[in-house]
Structure 1
Amino acid sequence: MKNRHSSLAVLELIHRYGPCADELQLTKPRKPTRHDVASTPLSPVEFQLYSYYIVTMGFGTPEQKMSLFVSLGSDVTWIQCKPCHKGNCYRQKDPLFDPSKSTSYSHIPCKSTQCSILAPDTPSGPTCSSTGNCAYRVNYTDGSETRGDFSKDTLTIAPNINVSAFMFGCSHYSNINVGLEAGVLALSRSNSSIVSQTANQFDQCFSYCIPSNPSSKGFFALGKDYNCTTKFTPLIYISQSPYMYFITMIAIAVDGRKLHLDATDFGGPGNTYMNSGTTITQLPNNVYKVLARTFNYFMINDYGYFNAKPPYDALGLDYCFVPHHKNVVPVVSFTFQNNVQIDLNFFGTIIFYNKSLMCFAFAGNDDYSPTFGTTQQKTFEVVYDVGKQRLGWIQGMC
């Protein structure tokens, strides 16, 4: 990890199956979704296939440490809380947050201004509990949900860096499963996310760096610490998804040779969705086919690799290879609006299944726009300067 300025709030960012995970029962998803986990043991070579990145923060006074799944697409930060009757909460590695043990915890009244910020962020808007407190509910696209009290308490982000009266969901019912984590850290542009709630402290800016290997540590930071060499592309507002992060992809190259694609092949402005819960970048089928075939051609003819049969799995990887000792592959480059070009390294291009099989870490989809996954973001510090409506890339930061 590169040195960071002390004015930032900087936390370790780890893969769920990476450092410090030895004591956990490792689990493997039935399909690549951030909310659904089955009980099949996960082998070390499969760690990198699943996009789960975790930070630890403290809730309450005195603080109770909670591990949180980092989510760019979530609007409300929530954790599981006591009381939670058997069957209403999933198993987590941390003890449930106990509001009764926090001297700074309080409920938010249902008719307060603070409760009203949930109106655009939850399907049903804020509701009142039987005791007159603000209640929240978050429904996910897979049909799962979490609900409970919309509350406030002191949030300890890092030593000596606190947020008083931080608003979050205190869940008493969750049929969702984010694994063994206590809950979700919401990083969207919504009024209830940590980005908006800490705007006065951190100027609506955060960044993260995903390490090349799940056994290594990256970082998550709140606040500004970028330099003049940071490459910025505009964040585009999409009215249908106002709280998500979109940028505009305009070109792709392989080993410096631009693919024969028009900008319209990627979609219009704001065509690319930045996602923390998707492992590999998904491209429109026509774009993916051109990229994958070009990459495969170079791998076979210029780099001396041999094709291998792809594994059957839900990621849908089509082009696989027999590894050799060099671990050198063609450079895949993306160009975004403002001619911001990023060059992927080996770990941003290839996923290893085992010692004898590696695959091109991209897939096609039926959508007309790309989703930029975490594999392609590895080793970049990705800067979300929400206040200035721009997204920055700094290479080689972890």
Structure 2
Amino acid sequence: MGFFSVFLFLILCSFEKAIIALAATSPEPHLPPHTTHTVEVNSLLPATTCTPSTKGHTNNKASILEVVHKHGPCSIFHKSSKTSTTKTDDKYHAQILKQDEARVNSIHSRLNYRIHDPFTQSAASTTLPAKSGLPLGSANYFVTVGLGTPAKQLSLEFDTGSDLTWTQCRPCLRSCYTQSEPIFDPSLSSSYKNLSCSSATCTQLSSAGIPHRCSSASSSCLYGIRYGDGSFSIGDFAKEKLTLTSTDVFEGFLFGCGQDNEGLFYGTAAPPVISPSATEEAPLTASSSPSSPRYPKESRRLGLAGIKVGGSQLSIAPSVFSSSGTIIDSGTVITRLPAKAYAALRGAFREAMKNYTLTKSFSLLDTCYNFSGYETVSYPKIAFMFGDGLTVDSDATGIFYVVSSSQVCLAFAGNKDDSDIGIIGNVQQKRLEVVYDVAGQKVGFAPASCP
């Protein structure tokens, strides 16, 4: 199964303002100035106005597909009235992190081959356990693409951790959840085509370890995918025209046309969308140059080998990272580390932040601070070290998850089991340019200059 073009660039422009400012009102940093970030507290809070990125729009060598934070001010789903810190906001962030935990559990179970088969699960019943009635929040990013002929615009979450692109389709033979845009109708597209169950493409289909099925009525190919929170989608595996920009149009794009979609889905046309390696079996590796070494093919893992806090490398045995491995995922919010690595990171970070008062934990985040009394704060820089000598610094906006100014938390968490794979989430990808070179089997990083 093929995919498009040579490189894919992903810039997760923060929906938080990235204003760097020096001031004398914050406590003296415990670390040398060049190893710390000093920022205005207000710059950590969500922005209220949209400032679209224009980086690369004049670059003749690459086309740009804008990636927007789902609940940022540039999003069509943004609620401008949601600017105050209330108890409802706490529930909103708690739901985001709960959903994030379910996603991580799903990734771990898939990699450990413990995923359930949605074809079997849904055949007996379409009833799911009762869930919270709160509108589901999401700290993920989405893109707007055109699907079909004529092209219908759909807002799809950008998920580099999923191996299947799908969206809801009419006539929704069993169940469709409510979405803000019209559901895609394949009968109105002249380029839509179901795949035959006997085709080579169908027989090779296996999403999240779940094999394909065949429609008894039409002998067409069926896909199925289930997530860790119990949500699932089942439907036709098909070909369609995909329009990214006016010049980037791809015939025969493979995707799932969902006819039974149930669970914790809300708002956008589909939870997962284009994964740069969705139809490739190549490993992805961190690289700083074409000559960088490649790593073994195991779930497309990065060669994370160490972490720096405040310019100093943490004392973590390399085996801690190599035994579990690490992937990068735009659909996971909070970066997950092996328990021993997280304990070392947390200890060093708390030591560097000892001039600030720790406050209560929030959901899975156990290192939180009350910054409500400060105009500016200083905190240590955090960097990832990879086995080929590459070091990637986290941007100032990529270290904290902000619930409110009185509860600003370190955006890392530890896995329960050291054997579970580590995940670099989208908080740490903010304002980084991430290059997916599928043909070269590498991932590259560079500082981005988005607003």
* Alignment pair present for 1:309 and 2:359: yes
Tell whether the 8 Å contact from 1:56 to 1:65 is kept in structure 2 after alignment: yes
* Alignment pair present for 1:296 and 2:350: yes
- For 1:11 and 1:307, how far apart are their aligned partners in 2? 41
- Which residue of the partner structure matches residue 214 of structure 1? none
Residues 357 and 145 of structure 1, relative CA distance in 2, 3 Å threshold: closer
TM superposition shift of 1:355: 2.2
Deviations 1:241-295 (A, max 9, x none): 3xxx311222222221222222123234x72121222212122222212211111
TM superposition shift of 1:163: 0.7
In structure 2, stretches of 5+ residues that fail to align are 1-52, 83-90, 104-129
Tell whether the 8 Å contact from 2:371 to 2:377 is kept in structure 1 after alignment: no
Opposite residue 299 of structure 1, the aligned amino acid is: M
For residue 67 of structure 1, give the secondary structure of its aligned residue in structure 2: strand
For residue 225 of structure 2, give the secondary structure of its aligned residue in structure 1: strand
- Which residue of the partner structure matches residue 32 of structure 2? none
For residue 428 of structure 2, give the secondary structure of its aligned residue in structure 1: helix
- For 2:131 and 2:245, how far apart are their aligned partners in 1? 29
- For 1:24 and 1:340, how far apart are their aligned partners in 2? 37
- For 1:330 and 1:62, how far apart are their aligned partners in 2? 51
Deviations 1:363-383 (A, max 9, x none): 122232422111111111111
Query: 1:126-165 counterparts in 2 under 5 A?
Result: 126-165=213-252
For residue 362 of structure 2, give the secondary structure of its aligned residue in structure 1: coil
Give TM-score, length-normalised by structure 2.
0.70
**Structure with the higher strand share, 1 or 2:** 1
- Which residue of the partner structure matches residue 139 of structure 2? 51
TM superposition shift of 1:330: 1.0
- For 2:352 and 2:75, how far apart are their aligned partners in 1? 38
TM superposition shift of 1:327: 3.4
- Which residue of the partner structure matches residue 187 of structure 1? 275
Tell whether the 8 Å contact from 1:136 to 1:149 is kept in structure 2 after alignment: yes
- Which residue of the partner structure matches residue 88 of structure 1? 175
Tell whether the 8 Å contact from 1:51 to 1:276 is kept in structure 2 after alignment: no
Opposite residue 205 of structure 2, the aligned amino acid is: L
Opposite residue 116 of structure 1, the aligned amino acid is: T
* Alignment pair present for 1:70 and 2:158: yes
For residue 95 of structure 1, give the secondary structure of its aligned residue in structure 2: coil
- Which residue of the partner structure matches residue 264 of structure 2? 177
Tell whether the 8 Å contact from 1:134 to 1:149 is kept in structure 2 after alignment: yes
Residues 119 and 233 of structure 1, relative CA distance in 2, 3 Å threshold: same
- Which residue of the partner structure matches residue 383 of structure 2? 333
**For 1:357, which of 401, 407, 418 is the aligned residue?**
407
- Which residue of the partner structure matches residue 445 of structure 2? 393
Deviations 1:115-147 (A, max 9, x none): 223147651324234112222222223333211
For residue 346 of structure 2, give the secondary structure of its aligned residue in structure 1: helix
For residue 286 of structure 1, give the secondary structure of its aligned residue in structure 2: helix
Query: Which range is displaced more, 335-344 or 142-151?
Result: 142-151
- Which residue of the partner structure matches residue 211 of structure 1? none
Q: How many residues align?
A: 351
Query: 1:231-380 counterparts in 2 under 5 A?
Result: 236-239=295-298, 241=299, 245-268=300-323, 271-300=325-354, 305-313=355-363, 315-322=364-371, 324-368=374-418, 369-380=421-432
- RMSD, aligned CA: 3.1
Does 1 or 2 have the higher relative contact order (CA < 8 Å, sep 6+)? 2
Tell whether the 8 Å contact from 1:152 to 1:165 is kept in structure 2 after alignment: yes
- Which residue of the partner structure matches residue 108 of structure 1? 195
- For 1:267 and 1:67, how far apart are their aligned partners in 2? 37
Deviations 1:297-326 (A, max 9, x none): 1122xxxx421312432x333343435322
- For 2:241 and 2:333, how far apart are their aligned partners in 1? 33
For residue 202 of structure 2, give the secondary structure of its aligned residue in structure 1: helix
- For 2:135 and 2:236, how far apart are their aligned partners in 1? 34
Give TM-score, length-normalised by structure 1.
0.78
- For 2:291 and 2:169, how far apart are their aligned partners in 1? 39
Opposite residue 327 of structure 1, the aligned amino acid is: V
Q: Work out the percentage of aligned pairs sharing the same amino acid.
A: 31
For residue 394 of structure 1, give the secondary structure of its aligned residue in structure 2: strand
TM superposition shift of 1:236: 3.4
Tell whether the 8 Å contact from 1:37 to 1:179 is kept in structure 2 after alignment: no
Tell whether the 8 Å contact from 1:231 to 1:392 is kept in structure 2 after alignment: no
Deviations 1:220-245 (A, max 9, x none): xxxxxxxx977996563444x3xxx3
For residue 115 of structure 1, give the secondary structure of its aligned residue in structure 2: helix
- For 2:388 and 2:217, how far apart are their aligned partners in 1? 52
TM superposition shift of 1:154: 1.0
For residue 344 of structure 2, give the secondary structure of its aligned residue in structure 1: helix
Query: 1:2-41 counterparts in 2 under 5 A?
Result: 2-4=55-57, 5-21=59-75, 28=92, 29=95, 31-33=98-100, 38-40=132-134
- For 1:261 and 1:331, how far apart are their aligned partners in 2? 18
- For 1:299 and 1:98, how far apart are their aligned partners in 2? 54
- Which residue of the partner structure matches residue 219 of structure 1? none
TM superposition shift of 1:76: 1.7
For residue 357 of structure 2, give the secondary structure of its aligned residue in structure 1: strand
